[in-house]
């Protein structure tokens, strides 16, 4: 057994520090040691996208990421997005409104992946959305409403970015 | 409550505020914020992790289980059949399935022992070190062969590999075929389908202070888990408590596997006095849980020149794998639905459920019906072709209508909306014109085609088996509403539908209602299967809420000084119908009712009246009602690769009242994707009973790039008298006709009939080549 190493990273906005084994996976640190169970595990070999978290804003599979590799960096999990109904992100809200959730097991992975997509490409086409999330599997929804929700979140974000005529309702 | 008075209530309950609208799912907030906890999210200190020791051979006697090396690793415990304190039996329809086999194994992947250790890695290592010595036995894998053999028996004590036989005998098929102008005969084959729920099967068991055990598990029927676990442990039912947390997809499989994993985890907890966590790995979930039964269906159909169906003769062979599990019920359902949603005057159907040395089969969305509808609906197109008709025309000629009789000779008096649904669907899709055009064109490398298929599905349990609904509704002093039910939330939205029903009847906003479901602490409400969760399950909620509403109306009448019949309760206020400004707030009303001495909790029970069924002839009352579906699919077939792309699907549903359009659409879209996977890509490969592709790299479920556009569904609300507000089941429907709709479209595109699914690109290419549509190299 090799020595544990102390790592420090920003998790959902707060610095955490802990000792990890060199072969310890990020998903186990998050779920078992920090009790953040919103990140889901269901294949363990990079086939499903359920374990997606954001590493410095980029989506990564936490089942394939070594904990030591996040030292000094920033991790966002689903728990870091909102605390309740009032501060839901546009994506979370759109997932609810569009019925993009059934069993909900794939939902955290999808929301984080979509968040990264919208950061890279605020106005994606349907094809771009389907292409970007193709590594995230969902067995319940048939993806229809998930794609719709991502589109809706994008267009709502666009509306709030563009203060011009859209906001000035009186002009219509 | 008697059925007739419920009926009256349901009829009266017409002006609804919440039902029929897409309210937010009550579990949505938990699920988008990561707060929703699933079985494996209960991370317990001091818990033992449990791993399976699985059989590497398809058939053999267990000579010895040697755990010495495993135990030498450290704090490890190993459990085998010998450790089971109660009855080692988890069989559902037949008592043929041990929790852990004592004498022989019957499939590769069968769990023979459980290993428990304080951490997962240790448990995993120890499981590898348990040595099991077997005496290998000859095995049988092909159901057609297994039926004929008596020298290789999966279950010796049964004397045959045929686990169950079913039949329907209606009219006189010989005469029916004589009167037919055309007869079409084909054999259809369907493969295994893995449920692939994103969350694998699992259970957490915690010993309680009174010598019993509490189980938190991924299930579809808490009371069944309770019964089986208690049986295995030799405890009274009351000593086992079962709780369903959020479940990451069920699709039927967790109805069957829930009791098994519950009993396994509970065994470890019971024997060690420590909490035990068993979560199947993805590999376990492939190799060691039930699948959709593969089938061979031989189908002969006769019709007159004008396209009227005269007779069908059908033989259905379901491969049950190593155990019968739900197979007898699956087979009965397949048998009774063999005719499709059509009037067929003469029918002869024979079903066989056959044991083989492969992983066992079980419940899966559609429950035997997708297999037979694939055959029935392909047949219909072939028949149309022979008669020079189009697929729409032949269906409209024969579809069931109010007053029709099914192939079990059941009279359908009402709630039969399929004819209208198909008619509307034909118009909306421009089916005829497209079908003719694609058939004429057939040029180029990529061919387009359109196909239609219908389906129907009896709701509730089959053959007059009693069905019931039971729920409790409790009003808190603060006005909050709790609904307790055994119905599980597996992603389909039943709890939301339950909350909507309670809110509707009581007259409060839906946010007030909390549903505590999926627990053995609630009344036994039956299983969450057979598309009965919201439909049958909802009736108990309706009845209980109705009782409370009556009491509240009395209390309100005293406060408002009027007659209870003049009281209206809506949106959290009670008022006199003639002066709405004169009102009492909901909280105030509930508190007043408490102090006036009204009981503020009520149970609702409803026993579903059913008719008689004659098992000998397979005739009579099969189901209280049927839901109906038709799908049109448009596809592109690439002749060079054999790849079929489903471009678009148009569904039409006749399932009574649509309680929540958002949830219903979600069920339809998900079922279409799953049906498409079943039809085209999801193929389990076996070699001598060993599964070759137990992972998502080699077993292909649809991704976001594969699924078709799904158009807004057509709804024909053919209300059902015993459904809450007239609703019937929805969950399974859209999967059922999907494979046939796709294959009928492939035929339209290429002229080639493919009778075997999954129609993987290799298979399609092979058939096209064989038919001379593409030239071989
Ligand atoms: S659990 Fe990480 S990709 Fe599946
Ligand atoms: S909602 Fe169940 S897997 Fe996506």
Q: Is residue A146 within 6 Å of ligand 2 at its C-beta?
A: no
Spell out the domains of chain B, with CATH numbers in brackets.
3-22+467-608 (3.30.365.10), 46-137+195-287 (3.90.1170.50), 295-356+367-462+614-770 (3.30.365.10)
What are the backbone angles phi and psi of residue B693, rounded to the nearest 5°? -130, 60
Picking from A38, A84, A140, the nearest residue to B249 by CB comes out as: A140
Of A80, A106, A124, the domain-final residue: A80
Residues A99, A102, A108, CA angle at the centre, nearest 5°?
90
Residues A94 and A73 in one domain: no
- Is A148 in the same domain as A91? yes
CB-side exposure of B51: number of CA atoms within 13 Å?
20
Q: How far is the CA of B676 from the centre of ligand 2 (A)?
A: 17
**Cα of A63 from ligand 1 centre, angstroms:** 5
Looking at the structure, tell me whether residues A29 and A89 fall in a common domain.
no
Cα distances (Å, whole numbers) of residue B564 to B197, B541, B596: 49, 22, 15
Distance from the CA of B34 to the center of ligand 2, in angstroms?
A: 13
Q: Is residue B61 within 8 Å of B137, Cβ to Cβ?
A: yes
Alpha-carbon gap, residue A155 to A150, rounded angstroms: 9
Q: Which residues of chain B have pLDDT under 50?
A: 1-4, 6-7, 9-18
A140 lines ligand 2 (CB under 6 A): yes
Backbone angles phi, psi at B282, to 5 degrees: -60, -35
Interface test with B, best of A36, A94, A101, A149 (most B CBs within 10 A): A101
Give yes or no for residue A41 CB within 6 A of ligand 2: no
Q: Do A108 and B34 touch (CB under 8 A)?
A: yes
Q: Point out the residue among B29, B41, B282 whose CB comes nearest to the CB of A37.
A: B41
Q: How far is CA B40 from CA B199, B216, B287, B414, in A?
A: 9, 9, 20, 45
A136 lines ligand 2 (CB under 6 A): no
Give me the CATH number covering residue A70. Answer: 3.10.20.30
Burial B73-96 (b: 16+ CB within 10 A, else e): eeebbbbbbebbebebebebbbeb
Cβ-contact B511, B543 below 8 angstroms: no
Is residue A75 within 8 angstroms of chain B, CB to CB? no
A-chain residues near B492 (CB < 8 A): 102
Q: Using an 8 Å CB-CB cutoff, list chain A residues near B41.
A: 31, 37
Q: Among all residues of chain A, which has the CA nearest to that of B199?
A: A42
The reply to whether A169 falls in a domain is no
Tell whether A36 and A17 lie within a shared domain: yes
Mean pLDDT, residues A35-41 taken together: 95
**Residue-level pLDDT at B462:** 79
- Cβ–Cβ below 8 Å for A39 and B34: yes
**CB within 8 A of B20, min separation 6: which ones?**
B657, B658, B659, B660, B661
> Is residue A2 very low, low, confident or very high in pLDDT (cuts 50, 70, 90)?
low
Ligand 2 pocket test: which of A42, A96, A102, A142 has the largest number of ligand atoms within 8 Å of its C-beta?
A: A102
Question: Which domain CATH number covers A104?
Answer: 1.10.150.120
Report chain B residues whose CB lies below 8 A from the CB of A139.
Answer: 195-198, 249, 251, 670, 674, 701
Mutation for testing the B interface, residue in A1, A30, A35, A99 having most B CBs under 10 Å: A99
- Report the separation in Å between the CA atom of B290 and the middle of ligand 2, taken as the mean of its atom positions: 20
Nearest to A31 among B43, B200, B282 (CB): B43
Give the count of Cβ contacts less than 8 A between chain A and B.
172
Contact A99 B43 (CB under 8 A): no
C-beta atoms of B196 and A105 within 8 A? no
Exposure of B117 in the CB half-sphere (CA atoms within 13 A): 20
Q: Check residue B526 and give its pLDDT.
A: 76
* ipTM (interface pTM): 0.91
Say if the Cβ atoms of B34 and A50 lie within 8 Å.
no
The pLDDT mean for chain A works out to 91
Domain-located, residue A171: no
Three-state DSSP class for residue A117: helix
Helix pair angle (B494-506, B535-560), 10° resolution: 20
3-state secondary structure of B65: strand
Average pLDDT over residues A37-54: 94
Confidence of residue A171 (pLDDT cuts 50, 70, 90): very low
* Nearest Cβ partner for B27 among A35, A44, A104: A104
- Residues contacting B532, CB < 8 A, separation 6+: B459, B460, B461, B467, B526, B729
The DSSP annotation for B455-494 comes to EEEEESSSTT--EEEEEEEEE-TTS-EEEEES---SSS-H
Kindly state whether residue A38 falls inside one of the protein's structural domains.
yes
Residues from chain B contacting residue A131 (CB–CB below 8 Å): 704-705
Contact A45 B695 (CB under 8 A): yes
Which secondary structure element, helix H or strand E, spans residue B678, and what is its range?
Answer: helix B661-680
Same domain for A64 and A98? Answer: no
Asked if A9 has any chain B CB less than 8 Å from its own CB, the reply is no
Same domain? A58 vs A95: no
Distance from CA of A143 to the nearest CA of B (A): 6
Of all atoms in ligand 1, which is nearest to the CA of residue A49?
Answer: 3
CA-to-CA dists, residue B492 to B31, B137, B438, B534, B667, angstroms? 14, 43, 37, 9, 7
* Domain limit, last residue, from A80, A100, A127: A80
The finding on whether A142 has its CB within 6 A of some atom of ligand 2 is no
Q: Is residue A165 part of a domain?
A: no
A47 and B696 in contact by Cβ < 8 A?
A: yes
- For residue A38, the chain B residue with the least C-alpha distance is B34
| Ligand 2 atom 3: residue of nearest CA | A138
With CB atoms and an 8 Å threshold, state whether A96 touches B32. Answer: yes
Q: Which ligand is nearest to the CA of B282?
A: 1
Q: How far is CA B529 from the centre of its chain?
A: 5
Range of the domain at A31: 5-80
A108 touches chain B (CB under 8 A): yes
For A94, the closest chain B residue by CA position comes to: B32
Query: Residue A153: inside a domain, yes or no?
Result: yes
User: Does the residue A133 lie in any domain?
Assistant: yes
What pLDDT shows up at residue A167?
38
Strands ordered across the beta sheet of A52-55 = A14-20, A5-11, A74-76, A52-55, A58-61
Q: What is the pLDDT of residue A157?
A: 85
Q: How far apart are CA B494 and CA B537, in angstroms?
A: 9
**Is residue A67 located within the same domain as residue A89?**
no
Tell whether A19 and A42 lie within a shared domain. yes
Give the DSSP H/E element, type plus range, for residue B106.
Answer: none
Q: Looking at the structure, tell me whether residues A67 and A120 fall in a common domain.
A: no
Domains of chain A: total: 2
If asked whether residues A53 and A38 sit together in one domain, one would say: yes
Do B672 and A142 make contact, defined as CB atoms within 8 angstroms?
yes
A168: in domain: no
Residues A101 and A151 in one domain: yes
Q: Whole-angstrom Cα distance, residue B426 to residue B433?
A: 10
A105: nearest CB among B29, B38, B665: B38
Any domain includes A31: yes
- The answer to whether A92 contacts chain B (CB < 8 Å) is yes
Percent of chain A at pLDDT > 70 equals: 92
Say whether both A20 and A38 belong to one domain: yes
Among the bound ligands, name the one nearest to the CA of residue A135.
1
**Residue B535 has what pLDDT?**
65
């Amino acid at each position: 057994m090799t020595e544990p190493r102390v790592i420090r990273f920003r998790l959902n906005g707060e610095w955490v520090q802990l000792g990890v084994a060199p072969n310890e996976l990020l998903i186990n640190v998050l779920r078992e040691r920090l009790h953040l169970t919103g990140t889901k595990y269901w294949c363990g070999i990079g086939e499903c996208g359920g374990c997606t978290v954001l590493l410095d804003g980029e989506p990564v599979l936490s089942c394939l990421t070594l904990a030591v590799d996040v030292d000094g960096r920033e991790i966002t999990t689903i728990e870091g997005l909102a605390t309740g109904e009032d501060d839901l992100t546009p994506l979370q809200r759109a997932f609810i409104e569009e019925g993009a959730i059934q069993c909900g097991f794939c939902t955290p992975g999808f929301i984080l992946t979509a968040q990264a997509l919208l950061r890279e490409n605020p106005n994606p086409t349907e094809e771009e959305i389907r292409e970007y999330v193709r590594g995230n599997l969902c067995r319940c929804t048939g993806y229809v409403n998930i794609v719709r929700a991502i589109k809706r979140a994008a267009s709502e974000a666009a509306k709030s970015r563009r203060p011009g005529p859209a906001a000035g309702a009186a002009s219509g | 409550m008697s059925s007739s008075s419920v009926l009256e209530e349901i009829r009266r309950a017409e002006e609804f505020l919440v039902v029929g609208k897409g309210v937010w799912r009550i579990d949505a907030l938990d699920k988008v914020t990561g707060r929703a906890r699933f079985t494996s999210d209960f991370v317990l200190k001091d818990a033992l992790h449990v791993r399976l020791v699985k059989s590497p051979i398809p058939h053999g006697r267990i000579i010895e289980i040697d755990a010495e090396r495993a135990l030498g690793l450290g704090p490890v415990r190993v459990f085998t059949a010998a450790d089971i304190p109660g009855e080692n039996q988890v069989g559902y329809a037949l008592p043929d399935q041990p929790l852990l086999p004592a004498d022989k194994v019957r499939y590769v992947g069968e769990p023979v022992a459980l290993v428990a250790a304080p951490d997962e890695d240790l448990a995993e290592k120890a499981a590898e070190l348990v040595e099991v010595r077997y005496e290998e036995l000859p095995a049988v894998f092909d159901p057609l062969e297994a039926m004929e053999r008596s020298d290789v028996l999966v279950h010796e004590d049964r004397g045959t590999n045929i686990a169950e036989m079913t039949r329907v005998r209606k009219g006189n098929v010989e005469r029916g075929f004589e009167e037919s102008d055309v007869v079409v005969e084909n054999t259809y084959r369907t493969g295994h389908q893995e449920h692939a729920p994103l969350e694998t099967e699992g259970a957490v068991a915690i010993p309680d202070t009174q010598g019993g055990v509490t189980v938190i598990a991924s299930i579809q029927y808490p009371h069944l888990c309770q019964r089986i676990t208690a049986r295995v442990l030799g405890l009274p039912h009351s000593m086992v408590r079962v709780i369903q947390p959020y479940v990451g997809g069920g699709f039927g499989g967790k109805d069957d596997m829930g009791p098994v994993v519950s009993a396994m985890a509970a065994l470890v907890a019971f024997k060690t006095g420590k909490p035990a966590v068993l979560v199947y790995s993805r590999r376990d979930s492939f190799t060691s849980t039930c699948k959709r039964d593969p089938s061979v269906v031989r189908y002969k159909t006769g019709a007159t020149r004008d396209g009227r169906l005269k007779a069908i003769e059908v033989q259905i062979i379901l491969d049950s794998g190593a155990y019968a599990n739900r197979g007898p019920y699956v087979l009965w359902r397949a048998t009774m639905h063999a005719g499709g949603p059509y009037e067929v005057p003469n029918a002869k159907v024979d079903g066989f459920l056959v044991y083989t040395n492969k992983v066992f089969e079980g419940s899966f969305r559609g429950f035997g019906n997708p297999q037979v509808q694939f055959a029935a609906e392909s047949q219909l197109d072939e028949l149309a072709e022979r008669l020079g008709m189009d697929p729409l025309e032949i269906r409209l000629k024969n579809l069931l209508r109010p007053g029709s009789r099914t192939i079990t000779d059941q009279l359908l008096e009402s709630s039969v909306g399929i004819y209208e649904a198909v008619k509307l669907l034909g118009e909306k899709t421009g089916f005829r014109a497209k079908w003719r055009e694609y058939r004429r064109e057939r040029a180029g490398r990529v061919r387009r085609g359109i196909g239609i298929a219908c389906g129907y599905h009896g709701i509730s349990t089959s053959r007059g088996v009693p069905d019931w609904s039971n729920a409790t509704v409790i009003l808190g002093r603060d006005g909050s509403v709790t609904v307790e039910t055994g119905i599980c939330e597996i992603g389909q939205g039943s709890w939301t539908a339950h909350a909507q029903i309670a809110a509707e009847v009581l007259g409060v906003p839906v946010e007030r209602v909390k549903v505590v479901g999926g627990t053995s602490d609630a009344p036994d409400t039956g299983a969450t299967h057979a598309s009965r969760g919201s439909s049958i399950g909802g009736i108990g909620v309706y009845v209980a809420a109705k009782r409370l509403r009556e009491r509240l109306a009395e209390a309100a009448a005293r406060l408002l000084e009027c007659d209870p019949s003049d009281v209206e309760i809506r949106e959290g206020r009670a008022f006199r119908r003639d002066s709405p400004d004169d009102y009492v707030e909901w909280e105030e009303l509930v508190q007043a009712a408490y102090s006036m001495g009204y009981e503020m909790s009520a149970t609702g029970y409803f026993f579903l009246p059913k008719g008689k069924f004659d098992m000998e002839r397979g005739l009579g009352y099969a189901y209280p009602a049927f839901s109906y579906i038709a799908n049109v699919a448009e596809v592109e077939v690439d002749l060079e690769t054999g790849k079929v792309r489903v471009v678009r699907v148009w569904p039409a549903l006749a399932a009574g009242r649509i309680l929540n359009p958002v949830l219903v659409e979600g069920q339809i879209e998900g079922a279409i994707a799953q049906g498409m996977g079943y039809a085209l890509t999801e193929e389990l490969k076996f070699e001598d009973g060993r599964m070759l592709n137990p992972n998502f790299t080699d077993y292909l479920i649809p991704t976001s790039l594969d699924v078709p556009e799904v158009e807004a569904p057509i709804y024909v609300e053919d209300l059902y008298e015993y459904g809450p507000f007239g609703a019937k089941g929805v969950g399974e429907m859209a999967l059922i006709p999907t494979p046939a709709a796709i294959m009928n479209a492939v035929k339209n595109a290429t002229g080639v009939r493919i009778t075997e699914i999954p129609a993987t690109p290799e298979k399609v290419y092979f058939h096209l080549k064989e038919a001379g549509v593409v030239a071989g190299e």
